Amino acid sequence: MIGFGPHLMVDGYEGSFEALASVEAVTNFLDTLPAEIGMTKIMPPYVFKYDGGEKPEDWGVSGFVIIAESHISIHTFPEKGYFSIDIFSCKEFNIPAALEIIKSFFGTDKLEIQTTSRGTEFPRDISLATTITSSQRNRLM
């Protein structure tokens, strides 16, 4: 793997109102997903309900879980059937399996999916990092 790691961004449409509106359901999703995709949860999920502020129809549930490999976050908008999920990891993971879990949990196949590689110049090998640092220092002298 080159760089720091993959970042999966999912926008879901026509999701289950019940799942999107439930702090308990979103907590369960964030609590179980890391193990299902080979990640290591290092804290319980933090999940809360937002009242929508000036736009009551924008109420929803947001949450995140910190994993040893980075993080997973979600924001839901039950009245609109919409949710967004980010899975960012410093190691490869089974993206198709993650997508199937998301589809099943939120009851929709209507997903907009984007993936990117984060930190493409991140030096995974410490000897490579030392070489880069030494080269940069020599140029400054």
DSSP 86-141: EEEESS---HHHHHHHHHHHHT---EEEEEEEE-TT---SHHHHHHHHHHHHHHH-
Tell me what pLDDT residue 134 has: 63
Give me the mean pLDDT over the 110-135 stretch.
71
pLDDT at 22 over 80: yes
CA atoms of 62 and 126, how far apart (whole Å): 37
With 0.85 as the threshold, say if the pTM is over it. Answer: no
pLDDT: is 65 or 126 the higher one? Answer: 65
Give residue 130's domain range.
Answer: 5-140
Catalytic residues: 70, 75, 90
Number of domains present in the structure of the chain: 1
Which pLDDT band holds residue 116 (cuts at 50, 70, 90)?
confident
Q: What percent of the chain has pLDDT over 90?
A: 69
